[in-house]
Structure 1
């Protein structure tokens, strides 16, 4: 059995794309995450069924981080700015260690990434609205969890796979 997660971040006021992704996947996946900088209100019904955290551009009362268990795995979620992700991995590594995370979701950098570090899968889905870095595509991520590996795909706003970023990583 495959566990599937949808992960987005940094939509910066673009409620329409968050709503579109939610409608497309709600009830079809095990969980949907938004890693902050939505710039939307916390009491918006849009967030029903989405795990969301507060980013540095959010003023609403979202949690700064969440930790939950899905399919026997512990998932830590944060935006990343409070953990100094611009400057290195140390504090985000500590967060993952502190909560016993198998997977750590973050945003803030607007750059898609999926990396294994000390047995923890770290995923930044990039920005669904304002990409930065070498890949100038507005993206979100789909994570499929298999018993022996993770399969990560990044998708554009047309829900098409961005093949150059597809990864399989051993669990």
Structure 2
């Protein structure tokens, strides 16, 4: 399965739409919050793509769906925005939660800084931001490939 991962769109629907178009064919898009309503709008623009989302720290007033555990091709994928796991100072809390859930992939946003790392048996991925990048990088998103045999991933630097 080929999965697009975006985060921190902050109501920049046109930029998010361009990011999804630049991903090429995807089976699913995972939105990691800030602003989850963008995922709802994008699902209408791309009706043939399944969308999943979580809420971020800017998504107050809608309830609390700040994390989600998916099973994709028999593998567990943990989605969260990251603000509740102190990801701006490190990834250990996020890693521990992923281990607790039995997840092989932990996806988060919040920092607007892209990163891909493996801690133990958990692949930790932040796609960066499609609208407001930080850490001296351009706008980015991620692609995650998951099947029964392997997990692979890559970052996409978005065109202006």
Please name the residue that 2:47 is paired with: none
How far apart are 1:91 and its partner, in Å? 1.4
Equivalent residue runs for 1:58-69 within 5 Å: 58-59=59-60, 60-61=62-63, 63-69=65-71
Please name the residue that 1:162 is paired with: none
Please name the residue that 2:26 is paired with: 29
Q: Which has the higher contact order (CA 8 A, sep 6+)?
A: 2
**TM-score for both structures, normalised by structure 1:** 0.77
- How many residue pairs match? The answer is 154
Please name the residue that 1:95 is paired with: 97
Please name the residue that 1:141 is paired with: 142
Select the residue among 42, 51, 57 that pairs with 1:46: 42
Distance 2:54 2:10 in 1: 13
Unaligned runs of 5+ in 2: 45-49
The answer to whether the Cα contact below 8 Å between 1:52 and 1:62 also exists between their aligned partners in 2 is no
Distance 1:138 1:19 in 2: 13
User: Using a 3 Å threshold, how does the CA distance of structure 1 residues 134 and 148 change in structure 2: closer, same or farther?
Assistant: farther
C-alpha distance after superposition, 1:2-61 (max 9, x if no partner): x211100011111223334456769x423210111126378x453462111111111234
User: SS where residue 50 of structure 1 aligns?
Assistant: strand
Distance 1:34 1:24 in 2: 16
User: SS where residue 121 of structure 1 aligns?
Assistant: strand
User: SS where residue 16 of structure 2 aligns?
Assistant: helix
Equivalent residue runs for 1:76-87 within 5 Å: 76-87=78-89
The answer to whether the Cα contact below 8 Å between 1:140 and 1:154 also exists between their aligned partners in 2 is yes
**TM-score for both structures, normalised by structure 2:** 0.82
How large is the Cα RMSD of the aligned pairs? 2.5
Distance 2:136 2:23 in 1: 28
How far apart are 1:153 and its partner, in Å? 2.2
Q: Greater CA deviation, 9-18 or 107-116?
A: 9-18
The answer to whether the Cα contact below 8 Å between 1:17 and 1:157 also exists between their aligned partners in 2 is no
Select the residue among 115, 127, 130 that pairs with 1:128: 130
